[in-house]
Structure 1
Amino acid sequence: MLLALPCGAATAAKAPDLASQLATMDKAATASLDSWVYTVEGLDVTAWLDTTPVIIKVPILNEKHEWQGDSRYYFKQGKLFAVQMPYGRYQFDGKGAMILWQDETGTQSELPGTAAWSTRQEWLKKRALQLQNAFAPSVYEQRLKKPGSDIQLQGMARVEYLCVGQLYALTRAEKLIHEAGALTAADNKLSGAAQARFATGWRPLAFTCTVDGADRVSHLTYQYTGPVKTAN
């Protein structure tokens, strides 16, 4: 005698929709991962890291620098998985192809193969890579942690070395200098004023930096305090 199976018992459970998956990732990251904050292209960006970024949150500002919401980039095993913005969400497969584009209501917004689809896919991938790279260890940190490193610094000298190295990475300055007494150091924190040299000239900035117990820069925010001064 054959018994009929309940409807759906012979099939795999339906995978949660994208919004539910992202909500689960948000909850897990905020509960178990430390958050880092870096200034990236003038925006104070927050990342939750498990060696590499799992979620990166980018504020959206209008022309008056008023907060309008956030963009959130989600990664699985170092690869872009999804992006959520106030006006839509996007999902990517393991090979980097965008496979879903929904508007803010969860409705399919665009079809694969269109020019708009291709343009949005490439822009999001480029932006995600830029954000990932911003939270990568600086050249200074890599040199410090290299086996047999020639960098033998301790205490606040070590903190300053790591902070300045990360500041170079984020600003992409050709050179950073500061006047004597311009920096304040205490409790693995460094802050103060510096001058950054670019191809167009020198520009003043102020920064705040924190180094964690694993010699990683967990917080580095900065803002320019004046215009570029061209060399005479």
Structure 2
Amino acid sequence: MPLRPPSPVPPMTVDVVLPCLDEAGALPRVLERIPSGWRALVVDNGSTDGSAAIASGLGATVVHEPRRGFGAACHAGLRAATAELVCFCDCDGSLDPGLLAGLVRRVADGEADLVLGRRRPTGRGAWPLHARAGNYALSRMLHTRTGLRLRDLGPMRAARRAELLGLGLTDRRSGYPLEMVVRAADAGWRITEQDVPYRPRTGKSKVTGTWRGTWQAVGDMRSVLNAPAPAEGAVR
């Protein structure tokens, strides 16, 4: 029996949050890969290389978030989003936003509440040893805390906007992606992964480019794991 082709993504509105700090070199390629009909929300987190102007010139909606921090940029994008479904993706060229359609399909079809892109490195230097070690340590801690067996806590993900806001996320640093998963698990969400290619990024990493940066991020995320869940229905 021939394989059935994948079903098209249902006609729902989708916003893609792209946290951005000095990504002028990668933005054109990233934005051209956003699925047709979706809105790109480039959240400029204090770039000095003209990233905001480039994004605007290429048709993206630019959100300015002066408070530095990966979580601050992500959450500013989430609050600025208006679509039913929201995706997150790095805009450094390491991940292909076109693959978000597969993640969105699983949420829209009711298969899952939160879908994460499991990074599978495809080029030399795409995922340095120290970054993999940090990710592995966090995955183990996450399993201890929630029982979830996830192999990656990467930045590519998709979920429904209203439900994400309802999680009451408060971290504004590197712990934001992990906090999203922990709070979703606490709320009983169905969380799953889908493999995505992971390529060497354009430019220098601001977070996990060194052992020191990686373990600072791990420290942020360990604090998330030790924090109590927010009051039910909190929205920030």
| Higher relative contact order, structure no. (Cα contacts within 8 Å, ≥ 6 residues apart) | 2
- For Structure 1 versus Structure 2, the TM-score category normalised by the shorter chain is under 0.3
Name whichever structure is richer in strand by fraction: 1
With normalisation by structure 2, the TM-score equals: 0.24
More helix by share: 2
TM-score by length of 1: 0.25
Structure of greater Rg: 1
